[in-house]
């Protein structure tokens, strides 16, 4: 079970890397996807320093966080309504997600990837703010 979870988690964390649509030249070859993303990250680290990727890569990554948040809201709403038949279940699922995201962004990612607190706050906000807006506007 633990291996399956770790592989799934790693797959989801690296999804934006593999889907990177912009071309970069690597070893004289024009590439997209993970190789292009890694080249863009290396260039950004050289230019801005450790822990800073620049606004283009940051916006690209945060787009995936935002889409993930929307997908989770839809998933949580469907599960709460169809599986549990309860409005309370939606609040429990979203609260659990916020707790998990807090743990991930402020404990796991700094230790595993060297993520700075500022990036963690940005990531956490992009995940959580849509959930809060959803609850305030639609519930």
* 1 has a pLDDT exceeding 70: no
Measured CA to CA, the distance from residue 92 to residue 89 in angstroms comes to 5
Measured CA to CA, the distance from residue 55 to residue 16 in angstroms comes to 15
Q: pTM of the full predicted structure?
A: 0.87
Q: Cβ contacts of residue 72 below 8 Å, gap of 6+? A: 97, 131
* 125 has a pLDDT exceeding 90: yes
- Contact status, residue 109 vs residue 95, Cβ threshold 8 Å: no
Q: In this predicted model, what pLDDT tens digit does every residue of 7-22 receive, in sequence order?
A: 998 898 899 999 999 9
- Going from N- to C-terminal start, the domains of the chain cover 1-49, 54-139
* 113 has a pLDDT exceeding 90: no
Q: What share of the chain is helix, strand, coil (3-state, %, to 5)?
A: 80, 5, 15
């Amino acid at each position: 079970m633990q291996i399956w979870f770790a592989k799934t988690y790693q797959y989801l964390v690296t999804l934006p890397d593999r889907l990177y649509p912009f071309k970069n030249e690597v070893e004289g070859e024009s590439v997209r996807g993970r190789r292009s993303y890694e080249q863009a990250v290396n260039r950004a680290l050289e230019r801005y320093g450790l822990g800073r990727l620049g606004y283009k890569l940051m916006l690209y990554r945060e787009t995936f966080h935002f889409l993930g948040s929307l997908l989770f809201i839809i998933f949580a709403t469907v599960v709460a309504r169809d599986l549990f038949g309860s409005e309370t279940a939606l609040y429990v699922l979203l609260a659990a997600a916020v707790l998990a995201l807090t743990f991930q962004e402020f404990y796991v990612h700094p230790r595993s990837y060297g993520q700075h607190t500022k990036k963690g706050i940005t990531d956490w906000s992009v995940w959580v703010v849509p959930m809060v807006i959803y609850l305030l506007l639609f519930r």
